[in-house]
């Protein structure tokens, strides 16, 4: 086998449309571009690092009641969607919905795709609450609120509904703009 034309040190094993030859796996991953390589069997869309999305700290949240009100609107919407669906929303589902919201507001995805209609419904439900209750806040503030909710959800979950149980107990179900009710567990 011929050496990789990009690095000239390893054997080229992958047919590359960019270099028009066989490249090594390292160079394949280094030089790939979505617009040129999306049809290639080796192409993988880059994974997003949701844990690196800007977020508020616990002390910042504790110091500002309005930040807690914003997070309560979002978590209250998660509770409402959960109750509408017979409390079938798992922590993993809630986390994925928050990721989808980060896709829209932080990563600026124009279209949100979800293979699961249940998750897409949750995204649309919470996004509608954001549009109704949080219209006047700066988008960076919203992103930081989503970031802290994501952090807390990831930290609280173990295997099932630990995070959902906590927000049902301490946040409650959103029933209207600025109105939440606590549920009995």
Residue 175 belongs to what H/E stretch?
Answer: strand 173-176
Please report the pLDDT score of residue 1 as a whole number. 63
Digitized pLDDT (tens) for each residue of the chain, 185 residues in all: 688 988 989 998 999 888 888 999 999 888 888 888 888 888 888 889 999 999 999 899 989 999 999 999 999 999 999 999 999 999 999 999 999 999 999 999 999 988 899 999 999 999 999 999 999 999 999 999 999 999 999 999 998 999 999 999 999 888 777 776 766 65
- Distance CA(101)–CA(106), nearest Å, equals 8
Cα distances from 145 to residues 53, 58, 74, 111, in angstroms, run 10, 11, 9, 21
Please report the pLDDT score of residue 26 as a whole number. 92
The pTM of this model reads 0.79
Please report the pLDDT score of residue 140 as a whole number. 97
Beta pairing partners, 176: 179
- Is 167 within 8 Å of 79 (Cβ atoms)? yes
Beta pairing partners, 159: none
Q: How far apart are the first and last CA of the chain?
A: 65
Please report the pLDDT score of residue 113 as a whole number. 81
- Distance CA(121)–CA(71), nearest Å, equals 20
């Amino acid at each position: 086998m011929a050496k990789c034309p990009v690095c000239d040190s390893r054997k080229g094993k992958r047919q590359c449309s960019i270099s028009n030859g066989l490249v090594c796996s390292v160079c394949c991953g280094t030089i790939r571009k979505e617009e040129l390589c999306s049809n290639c069997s080796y192409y993988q869309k880059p994974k997003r690092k949701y844990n690196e999305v800007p977020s508020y700290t616990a002390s910042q949240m504790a110091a500002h009641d309005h930040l807690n009100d914003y997070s309560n609107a979002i978590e209250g919407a998660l509770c409402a969607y959960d109750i509408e669906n017979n409390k079938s929303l798992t922590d993993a589902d809630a986390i994925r919905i928050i990721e989808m919201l980060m896709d829209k507001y932080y990563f600026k995805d124009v279209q949100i795709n979800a293979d699961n209609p249940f998750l897409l419904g949750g995204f649309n439900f919470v996004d509608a609450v954001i549009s109704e209750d949080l219209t006047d806040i700066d988008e960076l503030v919203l992103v930081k609120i989503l970031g802290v909710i994501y952090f807390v959800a990831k930290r609280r979950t173990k295997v099932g509904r630990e995070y959902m149980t906590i927000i049902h107990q301490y946040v409650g179900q959103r029933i209207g703009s600025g109105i939440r009710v606590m549920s009995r567990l």
